[in-house]
Structure 1
């Protein structure tokens, strides 16, 4: 923002209600204290935490005991009357692409911005020299006198100490002055029309009462300049409009707006994108179209070891996709169990899979699959849930069956940390002093002996390594997925009706008897309560049965052809009712 030291390409600059760091060395201490003291108390503490203890900042922003940042809490006290008017007008016009603002997670997009701003800079703006010593360009600061987010006194002080800055102060406006039509016109005239500069709204005195006058230089009047650009109410004119549509700058700007992705993506109704890959026979020649839903820490690159001969024989087309926030798919800030099913439905429609399709959900991907049975049963041709997660908060689960389950306690503590101290949770799973990431470290506590053999030949879970978990965007994706799977849903699967009442198709659960992540007793209970589910149990199987030789073929034959393999028929066991 204030970085003019290496002025190689600047033609001019305008800083609109610019950020100030209360700890810049050249600020008078009393002025900094006074200005910081005008902010909401929660904001004062937030900025102090960012400056003095940045390592604690993520915890501070995610804890629930104390208020942190007013603007995120929706506190209107930080807005002056003019700001509130602007907010009302802006709310009446849909803003496309808002979800992109934090698509890399709040920490990368918002928190790190604050940390950089209130940390220690490599320079003090008050030491800067005029980047335009020959007046070939100009630098402007635009400040609202009623701004309650950036105190005007600090920007006045900057303008006094840097006389080469042209300071504009708008009497009745606050932080959103640039959204006002007239102010936007004035700002644009002063900044961009450099060959015929206009100085509008300069305060006569920086220390006395603020009076205003308008001075037009040379051949251009303020009204002429205003007429040359689009009004702010209709969308401010783009730079490319001002400098010519055929310019190289315009072409570069347009090219920069195009997002290049390694995989094909479809655009959803809310503007998000889902990345996908296709496998099997060509879609237009397929007899069976299957959407694969990957699990926790996985992606559309998941393995499903179906024999090519079977794929060709039956004519199977596979569609694998990155769930929201995973891989190359955009995060969904409004993600829910229901939205997972709606994403699948839109994916199928965008790729023209037809009125019905099959869904296979693996492990954590099963909550998306359960959601399909609940919310889009009319679109399903058949369903298979492979080692599906069980949410211990389903109301119908018998207490006798789950009260002594250590996995339930682990999930309970994980949810507490995820809800109230996500920063501490992230530190715990990435620190190196104590064992914490057992699942990621191939611990036999969570994997059967056969699973351990599989882990020797597959890549494992790359997203779940400590190195990758240190990446905020990875941690946020996994954190949200975990919370969604194990917090209360909008339905209980045990209340679901058979999506195929005429038995024209079927729903299957595949479970490993030696699964140490999801106990087989819970899956047996679910299938006993939902007799329309065909339950298959792999006697020596753990949680990674999808990687076992022959299992993918068995899953497909049961789902598509109704063939039951006798080896996977479970023994009869009496289960508790409550």
Structure 2
């Protein structure tokens, strides 16, 4: 019989910052560390709380710097996530582990595949954005208007992105459903149907509330990290990678996932016909794949 856990924890990064995380699933299962989206927190999870243990995973979600209970790290790069994830893995005694990220979390997961060597068994990337400095690539093509405005502000710098995000943070703290509805208004029907589910909304409310506990910090720093070079080359991701991409996604469009996949040396790209940004139905497949190459 599997003894499932849901346990809060924290550790210190190499520079002394606090990192907060939560463990779920099978404590004896394959270690999987997840990178949440932008914005997000360790409370982002699949609506089925038993999914992680069913697929034999010790699933660990953490707050990136400035989100939730994790101390901020102004000026951080996407690549900086690798060091934080290594610190969490060390705290939990994971010699080897898989990493997965969705949306804004996907580039941070890829950083681990480039920078942590053989410690990373596999990397899963769902609906990933492409690097903003990608050559011969139209970063803004196919993006929802909200994302175009947000990323445009990030390109202008901290003052502009803080000012753009602050009203959303205020709304998330006062009436998170209003933000969820505003985001949903720009999404395809397949995503709106998922967002309308009460359990999905409940998880989003909890994750958003925790994400903005420190105000704009984590969110702004994410966007500023995306607006500059990531700190590693996609061609240097040595780990085996599998990408899942919704055909109709407008928050991280298909062209982004295809670009990233084309630059990775050991990747498989899965286009989900009729799929959008929220790929809850795919997570069983994702976890099966991540766990198939068990850490040793």
- When normalised by structure 1's length, the TM-score is 0.43
Aligned residue in 1 for 2:3: none
Deviation at 1:305, TM superposition (A): 5.0
More strand by share: 2
Distance 1:430 1:374, change over 3 A: closer
1:61-108 deviation line (CA, Å, top 9, x unaligned)? xxxxxxxxxxxxxxxxxxxxxxxxxxxxxxxxxxxxxxxxxxxxxxxx
Could you tell me how far 1:325 is from its partner in structure 2?
1.4
1:367 paired to 2:107: yes
Once residues 166 and 25 of structure 2 are traced to their aligned partners in structure 1, the CA distance between those partners, rounded to angstroms, is: 42
Paired residue secondary structure (1:454): helix
Unaligned runs of 5+ in 1: 1-261, 500-505, 563-578
How many residues align structurally?
277
Q: CA deviation at 1:427?
A: 5.8
Trace 1:167-316 onto structure 2 (pairs within 5 A): 263-282=8-27, 285-286=28-29, 288-304=30-46, 308=50, 311-312=53-54, 315-316=56-57
1:326 aligned partner = 67
Following superposition, the deviation at residue 496 of structure 1 comes to 2.2
| Aligned equivalent of 1:489, options 205, 215, 230 | 230
Distance, in Å, in 1 between the alignment partners of 2:210 and 2:182 is: 16
Q: Deviations over 1:19-46 (max 9, x none)?
A: xxxxxxxxxxxxxxxxxxxxxxxxxxxx
Q: In 2, are the aligned partners of 1:411 and 1:486 still within 8 Å (CA)?
A: no
| Residue 149 of structure 2, aligned match among 396, 402, 410 | 410
Distance 1:479 1:557 in 2: 33
TM-score by length of structure 2 reads 0.80
Q: Which has the larger radius of gyration?
A: 1
Q: What residue is the counterpart of 1:555 in the other structure?
A: 286
Q: CA RMSD in A?
A: 3.3
How big is each residue's C-alpha offset from its partner over 1:216-258, in whole Å with a ceiling of 9 and x where there is no partner?
A: xxxxxxxxxxxxxxxxxxxxxxxxxxxxxxxxxxxxxxxxxxx
> Contact 2:36 / 2:104 at 8 angstroms: preserved in 1?
yes
Bigger relative CO (Cα 8 Å, ≥ 6 apart): 2
**1:292/1:359 contact within 8 Å kept:** yes
Provide the residue aligned with 1:536 in structure 2: 270
Aligned pair partner of 1:383 in 116, 120, 123: 123
Contact (CA 8 Å) 1:291, 1:360: kept in 2 or not? yes
Alignment of 1:393-472 (within 5 A): 393-394=133-134, 396=135, 398-399=136-137, 401-402=138-139, 404-405=141-142, 409-422=148-161, 424-426=163-165, 429=168, 440-444=180-184, 446-457=186-197, 458-459=200-201, 461-462=204-205
2:221 matches 1:480 = yes
Deviations 1:424-450 (A, max 9, x none): 425665799xxxx99743445532212
Gaps of 5+ in 2: 1-6, 172-176
